[in-house]
Amino acid sequence: MVIGLVDVVSERGGKADVARIAIDLQSDVDDLLPIVEVAEALGLLRVENGDVSLTNLGEKFVKATSSERKLMLREALMNVEPFYTIFKIIKSRREFTAEELFEDLSEDKDLVEEYRGPEQIHQMLLQWLLYTETVKYDGEEKRFYVKSS
């Protein structure tokens, strides 16, 4: 959804009204705002007075190939919580489960409030770390394997 939003903003000349995007996508603004927040946290969009605009990184992202986009997202994720902490934790591991990662994240009170259980962490890992090819996943064992750099 983040990638789609960035592409939509690009198609509109690099700047667009969030409410207008929601109307055109037949979506509710409240459903779109979390996606806007993630895109902004990743450095792809800037939000100002109800408008979203592409950042320099966002402009590069739009023009990038699929593999370049994955790399750009992986690098951006490394600077955003909870991924910053996740990358620190998994750096010393070869494999882990969402439950193990959740236990480690639960030591940080700010993160544990946002992620209430291993299943939520599991979905986030599947969505972001698999897409950016940071980890491999064994669906039978529900184990993640850290790819070597």
User: What is the helix (H) or strand (E) element at residue 81, kind and residue range?
Assistant: none
The amino acid at residue 107 is E
Q: How far apart are CA 40 and CA 45, in angstroms?
A: 5
Q: How far apart are CA 78 and CA 11, in angstroms?
A: 27
Instruction: Say which residues have a Cβ less than 8 Å from residue 64's Cβ, sequence separation at least 6.
Output: 72
Domain boundary among 42, 63, 84: 63
pLDDT in tens, 66-124: 999 999 999 999 888 888 888 888 888 888 888 888 888 777 766 656 666 778 878 88
**Does residue 137 sit in the same domain as residue 86?**
yes
Put the strands of the sheet holding 95-97 in their side by side order: 95-97, 143-146, 135-138
What are the DSSP calls for 100-145, one per residue? HHHHHHTTSHHHHHH--SHHHHHHHIIIIITTTTSEEEETTTTEEE
Range of the structural domain that residue 26 is part of = 2-63
Strand partners, 54: 45
Write down the pLDDT at residue 111.
Answer: 63
User: Looking at the whole model, is its pTM more than 0.85?
Assistant: no
pLDDT in tens, 31-76: 999 999 999 999 999 999 989 999 999 999 999 999 999 999 999 9
* Torsions phi, psi for 112 (to 5 deg): -65, -30
Domain boundary among 20, 43, 63: 63
Domain boundary among 24, 42, 63: 63
SS3 61: helix
**Which DSSP symbol is given to 97?**
E
**Does residue 78 sit in the same domain as residue 140?**
yes
Of 125, 121, 124, nearest in space to 112 by CA: 121
**Does residue 85 sit in the same domain as residue 139?**
yes
